[in-house]
Structures are given as C-alpha cells and as structure tokens.
A = this chain, B = another copy of it.
C-alpha cells in the first residue's frame, strides 16, 4: 500500500455565460495540489497550507480535509492522515479554488487507500467539502473539476450531471485580476425573481450554447454566450469588466464573460495564437484600469484530477 500521494485538481470556469449555476468546464491550469500521507492513529491533520494565509488549519473547516472526512465517515474508515495543501489560485478568484481542493482531497484518499470508488461515488463528498467555503450546494465547479470536460448540471434535485461534447479547437483565455470577490457576496446582489422574458431568453441561450458545443458550431456558441441573470449585476463588482470585454472581442475572442462569481473573466477562441493575443490584450486592458492580473491559456481539460509525482 502507498504511504503518500500527491494529486493535482484543476481550476474550473463555472456559469459559462447563460449557464448560470448549471454549467462548468475544467482548465489545464491553474489548479490546486493536495498531498496526503498515512500516519499512525486516526487523526486527520493539516501539516501545511501553501499559497494562502486565510484558510483554516482545522480539518473540518478546510474544504480539502472536510471532503476527506465526509468520505471516511460515510464508509466508516478509521485512518490517520497528514495533509499538505498547495493553493495555486486565490480564494474568491472565480476559478473554483475551493472545489479544486475539495476534489483533490477525496481523489487523493481514494487512490491512497485503494478504495476504488467511482467518480460518481466521490462526488457527494467533494460537494460536502465545498459547502464549507460557499455556504450552499453548487456543483458547477466540483462536477467539472472531478469529471473533467464540459459539464451540464441538468438538475440539482436529483443531481443529474451530463458531460457535453465540445469542439476540439476551443481555447480558453482566463484573466484573474488581483481582487477578491466572495461567492456569498456575489450571490446576495442577485434578484430573487427574474422577469419571465429574461428567464425565457436565458433558457434559449443555454440551449443554444449546448447545441453549439455538441454540433461544434462556433458561431452559435458565440451568439449564445449571454447571461441574463448574474452577469448584468456582477459586472459592477469588476472594475475592468467593460475594457477587458472590448479588448477580448476586438482580438478575436468568441465571447468574454465572468468566470464563476468573478473577478476572473474568460474568453473562448479557436487557436492558440488567438488565445495568446487575447491574453496579452486583456492583461493590458485590466492594467489600464489599475488592476494587475494573471492570465492562463488552456484547452478544456477532459481528465479532471490526476496523481502527480
């Protein structure tokens, strides 16, 4: 049996334009790394957290270990574990940071203890871990992080997760401006009721996006990338939203939307050259509004978490 394992779990873009709360996809980078080592006794402890000073060392209050505890409890497994967490993206980045740590935790322990649980069996525990940070059940980061690819959450009750095919040549450029937006705050500003015509337009665009992805119709994807529920409110929280959007579209982007609850934004394009040109243009645009930022270029990651050396 292994004594120690190290797992990388990817960042994810959730919401995806009209897919508010129901769509997400995984990136190749950035991502979080969780190491788990067997120890004597049956204590779960966090040895070290790199990349963040704000996260709890209390195992039941940290997403990476809370997901592990949920898993171990559910299968009545008693084991000692020492966990090291490397956060490669900020809390409140809009890139599914807590989901990545939560998924990495359960994925690592499943491999370490050779439990042979399926991803579908791991899902509920990854969700239980993530609830700690977001305060409510949202699968649109956890599901694409765990399963990889582009994911539709058709329904939350019962949970129904559908993997959606997508064009092979879809590149994603992500801009992560160095400000923090708390998911819970970004949710409070949303209206509890939606005008019926907006609900209809949202369903039309969500349907169009899914049709465009499966049939690899880039122009249909582009036309569908409009959110009527969250983005009109949340863009006010991102000072560089308008300039970044204009810069992305002017440089060949198919779309430019908020990733998760922001401040990160993302654009699809159809070549690496376009993706790189967009990255450079939107980084400059954000800086023109006084915001330093990171950019990432990635295809959609179809694997999800992986064991690394």
Contacts and interface: CB of A to CB of B under 8 A. Distances in A.
Given A211-B214, A214-B211, A196 B196 contact: no
A207 B19 contact: yes
Interface in A142-175: 152-156, 160, 162, 164-165
B154 A200 contact: no
A207 B21 contact: no
A194 B199 contact: yes
Contact of A22 (B19, B165, B204): B204
A155 B20 contact: no
A191 interface: yes
A260 interface: no
Contacts of A154: 204-205, 207-208, 220, 223-224
A18 interface: yes
Contact of A203 (B22, B164, B192): B22
A215 interface: yes
Contacts of A194: 193-196, 199
Interface centre among A154, A211, A220 (most CB of B within 10 A): A154
Nearest to A209: B207
Contacts of A202: 199, 202-203
B162 A211 contact: yes
Contacts of A18: 203
Contacts of A152: 204, 207-208, 211
A44 interface: no
Nearest to A152: B207
A162 to B, nearest CB: 6
Contacts of A21: 200
B196 A153 contact: no
A9 interface: no
11 contacts: A18-B203, A19-B203, A152-B204, A153-B204, A154-B207, A160-B208, A162-B211, A162-B220, A191-B196, A203-B203, A206-B206
List of 8 A-B pairs having minimum Cβ-Cβ separation, nearest first: A154-B208, A199-B199, A193-B193, A203-B206, A22-B204, A194-B199, A207-B210, A203-B203
Interface of A: 18-23, 152-156, 160, 162, 164-165, 190-196, 198-211, 214-215, 220, 223-224, 229
